[in-house]
Amino acid sequence: MEHIINKIDKDSLKPGDHIYAYRKLHTYSHHGIFIGGDRVIHYNRTKDGNTSQRAKPSKNCGVDKNHLRGVVKSCVDCFLKHHTLRRFQYGVGYGRYLTNWPGTNNGFGDYNLFENNCEAFAMFCKTEKRVSDQACSAMLLIKASVKVAMDRLLRES
């Protein structure tokens, strides 16, 4: 099972690894690139978030977590936020790809959940293609939900 879910420990990280961690009960994942020396580059929201829960700067890397915006460098622990570390696998077969949970240009601009997110950033760093499998999955789910609702409305009229 460990092979399917890509779970790894910090000791097995190598510079250039595309890593991620699931958040909020596996509803989405946060992606980044491990650059060595316990540091990760990753892409965060660019607009102000919830500032009612102020966090203290990291003791490990000194990053002020309240001001992480855009492309940032932080320690692995700040990237993970107490979630499980996973390594993204490239070049796997379609069947293997389907067993994963659904998971994202040089100037990345404003964060956009569907078009410009952390997964697209990490994929771009590794492949020079900006894609987000989790955003595509979410869009397909939204389109399917709209179609079901429209079909129901048409049947009722």
Instruction: Look at residues 80, 92, 90 and name the one whose alpha carbon lies nearest to residue 34.
Output: 80
What pLDDT, on a 0 to 100 scale, did the predictor assign at position 51?
54
- Spell 105-144 as b/e; 16+ CB within 10 A means b: eeebeebeeeebbbbbbbbbbeeeebebbbbeebeeeeee
pLDDT of 2 strictly over 50: no
Angstrom distance (rounded) from CA 56 to CA 62: 9
- Ordered structural domains, the chain, with CATH: 2-156 (3.90.1720.10)
Which residue among the candidates 18, 30, 61, 125 is catalytic per the annotation? Answer: 30
Q: Which residue would you say has higher pLDDT here, 116 or 41? A: 41
Specify whether 26 is catalytic.
Answer: no
Specify whether 31 is catalytic.
Answer: no
Specify whether 42 is catalytic.
Answer: yes
Which residue among the candidates 42, 61, 78, 125 is catalytic per the annotation? Answer: 42
What pLDDT, on a 0 to 100 scale, did the predictor assign at position 49?
54
Lowest average pLDDT, out of 17-26, 52-61, 148-157, goes to: 52-61
3 band by pLDDT with thresholds 50, 70 and 90: very low
Lowest average pLDDT, out of 29-38, 88-97, 126-135, goes to: 88-97
Angstrom distance (rounded) from CA 72 to CA 43: 6
Task: Enter the tokens of residue 115.
Answer: 């078009």
* C-beta neighbour count of 45 within 10 angstroms: 15
Condensed to tens digits (0 to 9), the pLDDT of residues 83-111 reads 999 998 776 554 544 455 444 333 566 77
Mean per-residue pLDDT, 43-60: 67
C-beta separation of 46 from 103 below 8 A = no
Which residue among the candidates 61, 78, 118, 125 is catalytic per the annotation? Answer: 118
Give this prediction's pTM: 0.61
What is the distance, to the nearest Å, from the Cα of residue 61 to the centroid of all Cα atoms in its chain?
21
CA angle 62–66–68, rounded 5-degree value: 75
Task: Enter the tokens of residue 96.
Answer: 């293997």
DSSP 20: E
